[in-house]
Structure 1
Amino acid sequence: MVDNTKPSTQKYTCSGYETPVCTDISPHHTNSEQKNHTAAFSADASLHSTTQSFSGAALAYLGDSVLEIALRTRLVQSGICDTGKLNDIARHYVNARAQSAGIAQLEPMLTQEETAVYHRGRNGAGGHPKSCTALEYRRATGLEALLGHLFLCQQYDRIQELLDVYFSYIKHSMLT
Protein backbone atom coordinates (compact mmCIF):
# COMPACT_ATOMS: atom_id res chain seq x y z
CA MET A 1 0.00 0.00 0.00
CA VAL A 2 1.36 3.41 -1.02
CA ASP A 3 1.24 6.31 1.43
CA ASN A 4 -0.24 9.21 -0.56
CA THR A 5 -0.10 11.71 2.30
CA LYS A 6 3.49 12.76 1.56
CA PRO A 7 4.69 14.27 -1.68
CA SER A 8 7.30 12.30 -3.59
CA THR A 9 10.74 13.86 -3.83
CA GLN A 10 13.72 13.57 -6.09
CA LYS A 11 17.26 14.88 -5.76
CA TYR A 12 18.33 17.98 -7.64
CA THR A 13 22.02 18.80 -7.83
CA CYS A 14 22.95 22.46 -7.90
CA SER A 15 26.60 23.46 -7.59
CA GLY A 16 27.44 20.15 -5.99
CA TYR A 17 24.69 20.23 -3.35
CA GLU A 18 21.89 17.71 -3.43
CA THR A 19 18.55 19.25 -2.62
CA PRO A 20 15.26 17.39 -2.35
CA VAL A 21 12.74 18.70 -4.83
CA CYS A 22 9.04 18.13 -4.34
CA THR A 23 7.55 16.56 -7.47
CA ASP A 24 4.00 16.49 -6.15
CA ILE A 25 2.92 20.10 -6.02
CA SER A 26 -0.74 19.47 -5.37
CA PRO A 27 -1.79 20.72 -1.95
CA HIS A 28 -3.14 18.18 0.50
CA HIS A 29 -6.36 19.95 1.46
CA THR A 30 -10.01 19.09 1.62
CA ASN A 31 -12.10 19.76 -1.49
CA SER A 32 -13.50 23.04 -0.13
CA GLU A 33 -10.03 24.25 0.86
CA GLN A 34 -8.77 23.24 -2.58
CA LYS A 35 -11.51 25.22 -4.33
CA ASN A 36 -10.68 28.37 -2.32
CA HIS A 37 -6.97 27.92 -2.99
CA THR A 38 -7.51 27.36 -6.70
CA ALA A 39 -9.80 30.37 -7.03
CA ALA A 40 -7.06 32.65 -5.73
CA PHE A 41 -4.74 31.57 -8.56
CA SER A 42 -7.08 31.29 -11.51
CA ALA A 43 -8.74 33.99 -13.53
CA ASP A 44 -12.48 34.39 -13.10
CA ALA A 45 -14.43 33.06 -16.08
CA SER A 46 -15.96 36.50 -16.65
CA LEU A 47 -12.49 37.93 -17.30
CA HIS A 48 -11.86 35.71 -20.30
CA SER A 49 -13.96 37.71 -22.72
CA THR A 50 -12.73 41.20 -21.88
CA THR A 51 -10.29 43.15 -19.79
CA GLN A 52 -11.85 46.52 -20.68
CA SER A 53 -12.91 47.10 -17.10
CA PHE A 54 -9.27 47.16 -15.96
CA SER A 55 -7.10 50.23 -16.25
CA GLY A 56 -3.92 50.04 -18.28
CA ALA A 57 -2.01 50.49 -15.02
CA ALA A 58 -3.76 47.49 -13.42
CA LEU A 59 -3.00 45.32 -16.45
CA ALA A 60 0.62 46.51 -16.37
CA TYR A 61 0.84 45.67 -12.67
CA LEU A 62 -0.17 42.10 -13.45
CA GLY A 63 1.91 41.94 -16.63
CA ASP A 64 5.02 42.97 -14.73
CA SER A 65 4.73 39.83 -12.63
CA VAL A 66 4.02 37.69 -15.72
CA LEU A 67 7.26 38.89 -17.30
CA GLU A 68 9.17 38.49 -14.04
CA ILE A 69 8.02 34.90 -13.38
CA ALA A 70 8.62 33.88 -17.01
CA LEU A 71 12.16 35.23 -16.87
CA ARG A 72 12.96 33.77 -13.46
CA THR A 73 11.66 30.38 -14.58
CA ARG A 74 13.88 30.44 -17.67
CA LEU A 75 16.92 31.50 -15.68
CA VAL A 76 16.50 28.84 -13.00
CA GLN A 77 15.87 26.18 -15.65
CA SER A 78 19.12 27.21 -17.34
CA GLY A 79 20.96 25.71 -14.37
CA ILE A 80 22.30 28.93 -12.86
CA CYS A 81 22.16 28.55 -9.09
CA ASP A 82 23.91 31.67 -7.81
CA THR A 83 21.14 34.11 -6.87
CA GLY A 84 23.43 37.10 -7.30
CA LYS A 85 24.18 36.05 -10.87
CA LEU A 86 20.49 35.34 -11.48
CA ASN A 87 19.60 38.88 -10.36
CA ASP A 88 22.37 40.44 -12.45
CA ILE A 89 21.14 38.67 -15.58
CA ALA A 90 17.48 39.43 -14.80
CA ARG A 91 18.21 43.16 -14.60
CA HIS A 92 19.24 43.14 -18.27
CA TYR A 93 15.90 41.65 -19.32
CA VAL A 94 13.43 43.34 -16.99
CA ASN A 95 13.92 47.09 -17.12
CA ALA A 96 12.11 49.82 -18.98
CA ARG A 97 14.86 50.33 -21.56
CA ALA A 98 14.99 46.61 -22.48
CA GLN A 99 11.21 46.30 -22.45
CA SER A 100 10.90 49.33 -24.75
CA ALA A 101 13.38 47.83 -27.21
CA GLY A 102 11.70 44.43 -26.93
CA ILE A 103 8.19 45.69 -27.68
CA ALA A 104 9.55 47.35 -30.82
CA GLN A 105 10.41 43.84 -32.04
CA LEU A 106 7.00 42.49 -31.04
CA GLU A 107 4.77 45.23 -32.47
CA PRO A 108 4.67 43.77 -36.01
CA MET A 109 3.45 40.47 -34.53
CA LEU A 110 0.55 41.96 -32.56
CA THR A 111 -3.09 41.54 -33.49
CA GLN A 112 -5.40 44.57 -33.60
CA GLU A 113 -6.76 43.71 -30.16
CA GLU A 114 -3.26 43.27 -28.71
CA THR A 115 -2.15 46.57 -30.25
CA ALA A 116 -5.14 48.33 -28.69
CA VAL A 117 -4.31 46.91 -25.25
CA TYR A 118 -0.64 47.86 -25.70
CA HIS A 119 -1.64 51.44 -26.62
CA ARG A 120 -4.05 51.65 -23.68
CA GLY A 121 -1.27 50.64 -21.27
CA ARG A 122 1.31 52.84 -22.98
CA ASN A 123 -0.90 55.91 -23.06
CA GLY A 124 -1.90 55.56 -19.42
CA ALA A 125 1.64 55.63 -18.05
CA GLY A 126 2.51 58.74 -16.08
CA GLY A 127 5.91 59.80 -14.79
CA HIS A 128 9.07 57.80 -15.23
CA PRO A 129 12.17 56.78 -13.27
CA LYS A 130 15.49 58.52 -13.88
CA SER A 131 16.94 55.34 -15.43
CA CYS A 132 14.91 55.72 -18.64
CA THR A 133 13.14 58.23 -20.84
CA ALA A 134 9.42 58.93 -20.62
CA LEU A 135 8.89 57.18 -23.98
CA GLU A 136 10.80 54.07 -22.86
CA TYR A 137 8.75 53.93 -19.68
CA ARG A 138 5.46 54.31 -21.53
CA ARG A 139 6.39 51.60 -24.05
CA ALA A 140 7.48 49.26 -21.23
CA THR A 141 4.20 49.87 -19.42
CA GLY A 142 2.34 49.07 -22.64
CA LEU A 143 4.19 45.74 -22.94
CA GLU A 144 3.35 44.88 -19.34
CA ALA A 145 -0.32 45.79 -19.91
CA LEU A 146 -0.39 43.49 -22.93
CA LEU A 147 1.07 40.62 -20.91
CA GLY A 148 -1.44 41.23 -18.11
CA HIS A 149 -4.30 41.18 -20.62
CA LEU A 150 -3.09 37.96 -22.24
CA PHE A 151 -2.70 36.35 -18.83
CA LEU A 152 -6.23 37.24 -17.75
CA CYS A 153 -7.55 35.93 -21.05
CA GLN A 154 -5.59 32.71 -20.41
CA GLN A 155 -3.69 33.05 -23.68
CA TYR A 156 -0.61 31.33 -22.27
CA ASP A 157 0.65 30.04 -25.63
CA ARG A 158 0.53 33.56 -27.01
CA ILE A 159 2.44 34.86 -23.99
CA GLN A 160 5.05 32.17 -24.58
CA GLU A 161 5.29 33.02 -28.29
CA LEU A 162 5.81 36.73 -27.62
CA LEU A 163 8.24 36.18 -24.75
CA ASP A 164 10.32 33.74 -26.82
CA VAL A 165 10.90 36.55 -29.32
CA TYR A 166 11.41 39.12 -26.55
CA PHE A 167 13.98 37.06 -24.62
CA SER A 168 15.82 36.07 -27.80
CA TYR A 169 16.07 39.71 -28.90
CA ILE A 170 17.27 40.96 -25.51
CA LYS A 171 19.82 38.12 -25.22
CA HIS A 172 21.16 38.91 -28.71
CA SER A 173 21.35 42.65 -28.00
CA MET A 174 23.30 41.95 -24.78
CA LEU A 175 25.91 40.02 -26.78
CA THR A 176 26.45 42.71 -29.41
Structure 2
Amino acid sequence: MKTPEKGQDGELKLLERFEGERVNQMSPVLLAYVGDAVYELYVRTQLLAKGNRPVGEVHRDAVSLVRASTQARLLKEISPQLSEEEKDVIRRARNNKRLTPPRNVDISDYRLSTGLEALFGYLYLKGEEEKLNKYMSLVLSEFEKLEVPAI
Protein backbone atom coordinates (compact mmCIF):
# COMPACT_ATOMS: atom_id res chain seq x y z
CA MET A 1 0.00 0.00 0.00
CA LYS A 2 1.30 3.42 -0.92
CA THR A 3 2.12 5.75 1.95
CA PRO A 4 0.25 9.08 1.78
CA GLU A 5 2.47 11.91 0.58
CA LYS A 6 2.58 15.42 1.95
CA GLY A 7 1.67 18.32 -0.29
CA GLN A 8 3.48 21.67 -0.49
CA ASP A 9 1.41 23.03 2.40
CA GLY A 10 2.36 20.07 4.61
CA GLU A 11 -1.12 18.49 4.53
CA LEU A 12 -1.48 14.83 3.74
CA LYS A 13 -2.31 14.19 0.12
CA LEU A 14 -4.60 11.16 0.30
CA LEU A 15 -6.25 11.32 -3.10
CA GLU A 16 -4.38 10.44 -6.24
CA ARG A 17 -5.85 11.76 -9.47
CA PHE A 18 -5.39 9.61 -12.54
CA GLU A 19 -4.35 10.54 -16.05
CA GLY A 20 -7.23 10.67 -18.52
CA GLU A 21 -6.00 7.68 -20.51
CA ARG A 22 -5.72 5.55 -17.38
CA VAL A 23 -9.27 6.47 -16.34
CA ASN A 24 -10.54 5.71 -19.86
CA GLN A 25 -9.11 2.20 -19.58
CA MET A 26 -10.80 1.46 -16.24
CA SER A 27 -13.73 -0.90 -16.07
CA PRO A 28 -17.02 1.01 -16.10
CA VAL A 29 -18.06 -1.04 -13.08
CA LEU A 30 -15.02 0.27 -11.17
CA LEU A 31 -15.90 3.81 -12.20
CA ALA A 32 -19.45 3.25 -10.94
CA TYR A 33 -18.07 1.83 -7.69
CA VAL A 34 -16.14 5.05 -7.03
CA GLY A 35 -18.97 7.22 -8.37
CA ASP A 36 -21.44 5.61 -5.99
CA ALA A 37 -19.27 6.67 -3.05
CA VAL A 38 -18.83 10.19 -4.44
CA TYR A 39 -22.58 10.59 -4.97
CA GLU A 40 -23.43 9.16 -1.54
CA LEU A 41 -21.00 11.53 0.19
CA TYR A 42 -22.40 14.48 -1.75
CA VAL A 43 -25.98 13.57 -0.82
CA ARG A 44 -25.16 13.08 2.85
CA THR A 45 -23.22 16.35 3.00
CA GLN A 46 -26.08 18.28 1.42
CA LEU A 47 -28.60 16.73 3.80
CA LEU A 48 -26.46 17.65 6.80
CA ALA A 49 -26.29 21.22 5.51
CA LYS A 50 -30.07 21.41 5.95
CA GLY A 51 -29.67 21.28 9.72
CA ASN A 52 -29.25 19.01 12.69
CA ARG A 53 -31.79 16.16 12.65
CA PRO A 54 -32.01 12.59 13.89
CA VAL A 55 -29.79 10.27 11.87
CA GLY A 56 -32.77 8.07 10.99
CA GLU A 57 -34.48 10.96 9.21
CA VAL A 58 -31.30 11.91 7.37
CA HIS A 59 -30.80 8.29 6.32
CA ARG A 60 -34.39 8.01 5.06
CA ASP A 61 -33.93 11.13 2.93
CA ALA A 62 -30.55 9.92 1.67
CA VAL A 63 -32.03 6.58 0.61
CA SER A 64 -34.72 8.35 -1.39
CA LEU A 65 -32.04 10.31 -3.26
CA VAL A 66 -29.62 7.48 -3.97
CA ARG A 67 -32.16 4.94 -5.20
CA ALA A 68 -31.85 3.80 -8.79
CA SER A 69 -35.06 5.46 -9.97
CA THR A 70 -33.90 8.88 -8.70
CA GLN A 71 -30.47 8.48 -10.26
CA ALA A 72 -32.03 7.39 -13.57
CA ARG A 73 -34.21 10.51 -13.55
CA LEU A 74 -31.17 12.70 -12.81
CA LEU A 75 -29.24 11.16 -15.69
CA LYS A 76 -32.11 11.91 -18.07
CA GLU A 77 -32.08 15.55 -16.86
CA ILE A 78 -28.37 16.11 -17.45
CA SER A 79 -28.02 14.05 -20.66
CA PRO A 80 -28.37 17.01 -23.05
CA GLN A 81 -25.41 18.74 -21.35
CA LEU A 82 -23.01 15.80 -21.60
CA SER A 83 -20.07 15.57 -23.98
CA GLU A 84 -19.68 12.58 -26.30
CA GLU A 85 -16.85 11.31 -24.10
CA GLU A 86 -19.10 11.43 -21.02
CA LYS A 87 -21.94 9.74 -22.89
CA ASP A 88 -19.53 7.00 -23.90
CA VAL A 89 -18.61 6.38 -20.24
CA ILE A 90 -22.30 6.11 -19.39
CA ARG A 91 -22.99 3.85 -22.37
CA ARG A 92 -20.15 1.49 -21.41
CA ALA A 93 -21.44 1.23 -17.83
CA ARG A 94 -25.08 0.93 -18.80
CA ASN A 95 -24.41 -1.86 -21.30
CA ASN A 96 -22.17 -3.91 -19.02
CA LYS A 97 -23.35 -7.52 -19.06
CA ARG A 98 -22.33 -8.17 -15.45
CA LEU A 99 -24.92 -5.85 -13.96
CA THR A 100 -27.31 -7.68 -11.68
CA PRO A 101 -29.86 -5.40 -10.08
CA PRO A 102 -31.13 -5.93 -6.55
CA ARG A 103 -34.65 -7.27 -6.18
CA ASN A 104 -37.49 -4.80 -6.66
CA VAL A 105 -35.37 -2.53 -8.86
CA ASP A 106 -36.31 -1.87 -12.47
CA ILE A 107 -33.47 -3.12 -14.70
CA SER A 108 -33.56 -0.06 -16.96
CA ASP A 109 -33.38 2.30 -13.95
CA TYR A 110 -30.53 0.22 -12.54
CA ARG A 111 -28.57 0.42 -15.78
CA LEU A 112 -29.07 4.18 -16.03
CA SER A 113 -28.12 4.71 -12.39
CA THR A 114 -24.96 2.67 -12.94
CA GLY A 115 -24.18 4.93 -15.89
CA LEU A 116 -24.62 8.03 -13.74
CA GLU A 117 -22.40 6.60 -11.01
CA ALA A 118 -19.75 5.72 -13.61
CA LEU A 119 -19.86 9.30 -14.88
CA PHE A 120 -19.37 10.67 -11.36
CA GLY A 121 -16.49 8.25 -10.75
CA TYR A 122 -14.92 9.15 -14.08
CA LEU A 123 -15.07 12.89 -13.45
CA TYR A 124 -13.86 12.50 -9.88
CA LEU A 125 -10.86 10.34 -10.76
CA LYS A 126 -9.88 12.68 -13.59
CA GLY A 127 -10.05 15.63 -11.21
CA GLU A 128 -12.74 17.43 -13.20
CA GLU A 129 -14.33 19.05 -10.16
CA GLU A 130 -15.96 21.84 -12.14
CA LYS A 131 -17.97 19.45 -14.30
CA LEU A 132 -18.66 17.16 -11.36
CA ASN A 133 -19.99 20.08 -9.33
CA LYS A 134 -22.05 21.28 -12.28
CA TYR A 135 -23.79 17.92 -12.60
CA MET A 136 -24.08 17.44 -8.85
CA SER A 137 -25.74 20.84 -8.53
CA LEU A 138 -28.67 19.42 -10.45
CA VAL A 139 -29.12 17.05 -7.53
CA LEU A 140 -29.95 20.10 -5.39
CA SER A 141 -33.29 20.35 -7.12
CA GLU A 142 -34.12 16.93 -5.66
CA PHE A 143 -33.31 18.18 -2.16
CA GLU A 144 -35.80 20.99 -2.56
CA LYS A 145 -38.54 18.40 -3.05
CA LEU A 146 -37.85 16.90 0.37
CA GLU A 147 -39.89 18.25 3.19
CA VAL A 148 -37.09 18.74 5.69
CA PRO A 149 -37.95 20.90 8.71
CA ALA A 150 -35.48 23.67 9.41
CA ILE A 151 -33.95 23.68 12.88
Does the alignment reach a TM-score above 0.5?
yes
Q: CA deviation at 1:43?
A: 2.0
* Equivalent of 1:139 in 112, 121, 138: 112
Q: What SS class does the counterpart of residue 152 from structure 1 fall into? A: helix
Q: CA deviation at 1:122?
A: 1.0
% identical aligned pairs: 28
Correspondence 1:107 to 2:79: yes
Aligned residues: 140
Match of 1:26 in 2: none
* Equivalent of 1:64 in 24, 29, 36: 36
Q: What SS class does the counterpart of residue 20 from structure 2 fall into? A: coil
Q: CA deviation at 1:160?
A: 1.1
Cα RMSD after superposing both structures: 2.2
Task: Determine if contact 1:105/1:166 at 8 Å carries over to the other structure.
Answer: no
1:53-85: per-residue Cα shift (whole Å, max 9, x none)?
Answer: 210100000000000011111111111331111
Task: Measure the CA separation in 2 of the matches of 1:77 and 1:174.
Answer: 13
Correspondence 1:118 to 2:90: yes
Q: Which has the larger radius of gyration?
A: 1
One-letter amino acid of the counterpart of residue 85, structure 1: E
Matches within 5 A, 1:16-55: 34-35=5-6, 38-39=12-13, 41-44=14-17, 47-50=18-21, 51-55=23-27
1:29-60: per-residue Cα shift (whole Å, max 9, x none)?
Answer: xxx86539845x2124xx23231221010000
Say which structure, 1 or 2, has more relative contact order (CA 8 Å, 6+ apart): 2
One-letter amino acid of the counterpart of residue 84, structure 2: Q
Task: Measure the CA separation in 2 of the matches of 1:62 and 1:52.
Answer: 14
Task: Measure the CA separation in 2 of the matches of 1:174 and 1:74.
Answer: 12
Q: What SS class does the counterpart of residue 105 from structure 2 fall into? A: coil
Correspondence 1:151 to 2:124: yes
Q: Structure 2 unaligned segments of length 5 or more: list them.
A: none
Task: Determine if contact 1:93/1:167 at 8 Å carries over to the other structure.
Answer: no
Task: Determine if contact 1:103/1:166 at 8 Å carries over to the other structure.
Answer: no
Q: Structure 1 unaligned segments of length 5 or more: list them.
A: 1-31
